[in-house]
Structure formats: structure tokens, C-alpha cells
Amino acid sequence: MNNILAAIYAHASDTPEKIALTGATTQLTYAQLAAQIDSLSEWFIAQQIGRAGLWGENGIEWIVADLAAWKAKITLVPLPRFFSAAQLQHVLSEAQLSRLLVCGDIASVAAVSARTASPIAGIYLDQLALSTTATTTTDRNDKAIEGIAKITFTSGTTGTPKGVCLSTAALENVTLALAERIYATPGTEQTVQRHLTLLPLSTLLENIAGVYVPLYLGKNIVVLPGDALGFSGSSQLSLPRLLQQLHAYQPNSLILLPQILQGFVAASLQGFMLPGSLAFVAVGGAKTSANLIAQARACGIPVYEGYGLSECASVVSLNAPVADKMGSVGKPLSHVQVRIDQGVIFTRGNAFSGYLNAEGQNLQGNIDLQANAEWVNTGDLGYLDDDGFLFITGREKNLLISSFGRNISPEWIEAELGLNRTIAQVMVMGDAQPFCSAIIVPYPHVTAEQISSDISRVNKTLPDYAQVKKFIIAREPFTAANQLLTDNGRLRRLAISIAYAESIDAIYATADYPATISSRETGSPAAGVVYDIL
């Protein structure tokens, strides 16, 4: 039995009546949680489940299913609810999933040949129709992948995200190191007793830091569906609703994305205070400015920035009361090593076990389990200061990470937009911002309304976090002569961003997600004017 499950059973024995999970309508003590894990894992084994997807909203059922699958040695594939239909189908096919663990009375993500109720209320097993994941019966593979406890598909830099394979050891290592870092400060053990999950449990950060760490330490987790907290889709939030729930449940700890933190600061400055119960607030998932951290702390929000990636089983470094430096992403956790090579950040000590179906690997368990001995190129640029704090300065590639923590390849969206008869050239933006926007070079004799209509049509094929919400028109085409293209025709993104800095600032002048979708003009588009999408 792994360390996290062993700790849960120890808490069930030592403090059986202590509340482990608090949901919207019910609670589970540690004794009840252990009993449900036992019952469900035994049922999973009887059903001969080796590999399965996990589908559902945040809730007690999701956590129970996750832990029971771990005990039953199922290779589990959490399915993000913010994925588009096409992305979900890609995951089902890539992982050859023929069975889903479904939490709550919700529809499956694909055609179902049978749904069976488990011994635990609200948890079901869906048998997917054959055509969903494979062409023939011999193509289907329900076996667990040896050595792999979880396959996490990130938000996806393109429409076909990769599956990151993680071992039990990798999940344990980061859990124990986080517990050590967060609770190292004297008094924290007593003041941080209740965590409220804000991010989807299908995201590795909340799954590990918001579930495994608190349960390992015997804490209470408040887990509510996204709509109860004010979330809609992957990038829209009703801040008043969220604040109301925070005051109702009085959590001691939270994990935030930068956009949520920005909302908290704005609310505090307007006199809407957060509950005084908060003792530790972690922020990560995307770049967070030092000014925002300073503003948050001035408002009394005890926020600490961290850094990680799925290929390292989530968190790599974290600030905490025991070791904190503004502007950094903290010191590396005890289980990892970090080195800088020509400005690029490399990590070692908790590497993933490979990408699913990568060259030389397959679904039979032929995953390179020696990856932990290798250095992982994070793709991020940065440095370690003399005190051992890690600073992030940029990225090697053109990856955008929205302020809601979604990974986005601008080239993916640009390729889709470039197929339209109205758009000659396009550059997509949105790093550390709540939505994507674009700088467009139109073909001659097209109107702003036509461009807006074409973008709107493309948006319908994209997940909501990758949709373009605003655009501006370039003053001139991007060319090598004006230094906005390389000699081989690639966009000089930094040069374009500098050239259009004023217009870009106008796009993101407000932190709010666009509330009104309308076209400001229907005539010939004017350079530098901000247009909303129809």
C-alpha cells in the first residue's frame, strides 16, 4: 500500500470520527472514507478493471473513486471537463479507454453500451461502445500499464494533448515533499486544518496538493462542484459567488491561478474581504507578477508562489513562510534537483515515466521507468540565485499559459484562423491573460464584420480557453523587410508585440473576461482598433 493510502488508514484508526471530506450535501469521516475505499477497490478488482478514465465534477465521489482506483492498481486517466469534445475523444482513443468511472448523475463523454452502479452511491462504471476507442475487439486493451498509476493529459498545447505517465513513487514523492515544505513553519500544523478545492480535481496540481497532501496529514477537504463556487467553463468566474462560499466554509488553505488571485485583490480593494481563516494560499499554473503578489499580501492574503509541470508530477518549487522570496517561485522541494543550462531550467529526481504512445513505448507497459535518473528539460528559462531560490524569466518555445493556467500553442490557433478567406496573416496572444486575442493582417477589401464572423466560426471548433475573444488589425503586413518575420517566414513574436504594445494594452486594459461579444464596426477595419468577436 502506498504512503498516502497508508496514512488515510492510520487516521481512520487513530481519529475515526474526524471529518475527512466535506461535500455540498454530505461529509465523510476518515473511518467512512477508508471503508468506502475498501468497498470500491474490491468491486473494481472484481470487475477486472485494469485501465479506466475518470469523469465527473469535483465532489466526494471523485476523490473516493480516485483513491479506490489507486488501491486497486488501476491505471487511471482523469478526463478534464474543460476539454473540447474533440480533445476528449482523442484522450479516449490515445489511452484505448473502453471503461469510465463516472462520478455523479452526468452523461458519459461517449456512446455507452452499459452503465453499472458501484457499491458507492453516485459512482458508476460505463462500458463504452466499441467504436469509441477501437476498431476491432483485438485492438482494445483494458490492462493496467505496468508501473503507471496515473496518466494526466494537460490542457493541451494543441488539439491533441500528450498523456504524461506517472508512477506511484512520483506521486508520493511530491506529496511528501509538499507536506514537508508547507507545514515546516511552527504553528502551521494547527492553523491549516481545512483546504477548499477550487481547481478541477482532474488537474494534477489540485489532485496532489489539494487532495493527497491534506489527506496524508489528516486534514479536512471541502470539495464542491464548480458551479457552486461560481465557475463556468474553464475561464469564467462569478467572484461574488466564490467569495460567498469562502465565507461559508472558512477554509485555511487554497490553490489559486493568477486570474483568481487578481480577482481577490480587486475585490479586497473594493471592500469585499476574504475570510480571516486563510493561512496559506498557493498560486501557480501560470506566470504571476511580483506586483500582484505584493498587492495581495498588502490586502492580507497570505499568498505564496510556486512552480511545476506535469512531467515532474506537478510541483517543483514553492515559497512558504519558512523560506520566501518575492519574485521567485521558491526553493526547489527536497525531492528534486534543479540546474540551469544556458538559461534553461532542468530538473531531476521526480521525472515522469514517459509520454503515452511515444516512439519506442506502447500500452503494454513498455514505459521507460528509468526516466527518474534523467534530467528533464522544462522548456522554461530562469536562474537560481545565491540563496537557492528559483526565478522564471521566460520560455524557450512559443507556448502561452493563460492566467487560468491553460497551456495553449499559438501556432495551433493561427493555423486554424489562417484557413479563412479574410485572414492573410495572424499572431495569437494571451500569455498570462484571461483570454486569447490576435493581431490580424487581412486580405484586401474585407470588413471587420467578416473577420469577426470567420473567427467566431473557428472558435466553435476550439475549447473555450483557446478561443480568440478580441482582435486588432496590423498597420502593415508582417515581412522580413520590416523585421516582423524571420528570413524563413516565421513570426518575430517579440518584435510584433513591441510594435503593437499600445493596442495590446488596450485589449487587456481590464482583467475581466469579455462580458459583451459584439462587433464595434462593420466597415473596413482600422489599424490598432480593438474589435470584439461577433
What lies within 8 Å, CB to CB, of 42 at 6+ separation is 72
Give me the sign of the Cα torsion angle 471, 473, 474, 477: positive
Let me know if residue 15 belongs to a domain.
Answer: no
pLDDT at 162: 86
Tell me the CATH number at 456.
3.30.300.30
Same domain, 178 and 142: no
Does some domain include residue 13? Answer: no
Domain contains 374: yes
Predicted local distance difference test score (pLDDT) of residue 518: 36
- 146, 167, 188 - which closes a domain: 167
Cell of 149: 498509476
Is residue 17 domain-resident?
Answer: no
The CATH number of residue 152's host domain is: 3.40.50.980
Q: Is 429 helix (H, G, I), strand (E, B) or coil?
A: strand
Main-chain dihedrals φ then ψ at residue 303, nearest 5 degrees: -105, 145
Which residues make Cβ contacts (< 8 Å) with residue 191, sequence separation at least 6?
252, 279
* pTM as predicted: 0.81
The pLDDT, as a whole number, for residue 19 is 98
37 and 96 assigned to the same domain: yes
Please indicate, yes or no, whether residues 335 and 386 belong to a single structural domain of this protein.
Answer: yes
User: What is the model's pLDDT at position 186?
Assistant: 81
Instruction: Specify whether 414 is located in the same domain as 397.
Output: no
Are 66 and 134 contained in the same domain?
yes
Quick one: angle between helices 290-298 and 258-269, nearest 10?
40
In 3-state terms, what secondary structure has residue 272?
coil
Q: Are 197 and 320 part of one and the same domain? A: yes
Assigned domain for 432 exists:
yes
- For residue 160, give the C-alpha cell: 491533441
Domain boundary among 167, 187, 221: 167
Domain of 526?
409-532
Q: How many domains are contained in the chain?
A: 3
Residue 147 CA, distance from chain mean position: 24
Cell of 71: 488501491
Whether residues 195 and 161 share a domain: the answer is no
pLDDT of amino acid 523? 59
The packing angle between helices 60-71 and 30-46, to 10°, is 60
**253 and 378 inside one domain:** yes
Beta bridge partners of 390: 384
Q: Distance between CA 376 and CA 338 in Å, rounded?
A: 9
Give dist(CA 138, CA 96) in Å, integer.
11
Q: Within this chain, do residues 149 and 181 fall inside the same structural domain, yes or no?
A: no
Domain assignment of residue 61, yes or no: yes
**DSSP states of 180-245:** HHHT-STTHHHH--EEEE-S-TTSHHHHIIIIIHHHHTT-EEEE--HHHHTEETTTEE-HHHHHHH
pLDDT number for residue 488: 56
Residue that terminates a domain, selected from 137, 167, 197: 167
Cβ contacts of 388 within 8 Å, gap of 6 or more: 331, 332
Same domain, 456 and 383: no
Say if residue 226 is in the same domain as residue 115: no
Residues near 504 by beta carbon (within 8 Å), at least 6 away in sequence = 429, 437, 439, 472, 497
- Interhelix angle for 448-459 vs 410-417, to 10°? 120
Are both 226 and 342 inside the same structural domain? yes
**C-alpha cell belonging to residue 534:** 461577433
- The CATH number linked to 334 is 3.40.50.12780
Residue 12 lies in a domain: no
pLDDT in tens, the chain (534 residues): 899 999 999 999 999 999 999 999 999 999 999 999 999 999 999 999 999 999 999 999 999 999 999 999 999 999 988 888 888 999 999 999 999 999 998 988 889 999 999 999 999 999 998 655 444 434 556 789 999 999 999 755 555 778 999 999 999 999 999 999 998 888 777 889 999 999 999 999 999 999 999 999 999 999 999 999 998 765 678 899 999 999 999 999 999 988 789 889 989 989 998 999 999 999 987 778 888 899 999 999 999 999 999 999 999 999 999 999 999 999 999 999 999 998 999 999 988 999 998 754 433 333 443 444 588 999 888 999 999 999 988 777 778 889 888 888 888 898 889 888 899 899 999 998 999 999 999 988 999 999 999 999 999 989 889 999 999 999 999 987 788 986 556 788 989 999 999 999 999 985 443 333 233 444 568 887 888 886
Q: Does residue 14 fall inside a structural domain? A: no
Q: Give the CA count within 13 Å in the CB-facing half-sphere of 210.
A: 30
Alpha-carbon distance 301 to 106, whole Å? Answer: 36
Give the pLDDT score at 136.
40
Q: What is the pLDDT of residue 158?
A: 52
Strands 303-309 and 280-283, by their bridges, are parallel
Residue 326 CA to residue 320 CA, distance in Å, equals 11
pLDDT value for 118: 97
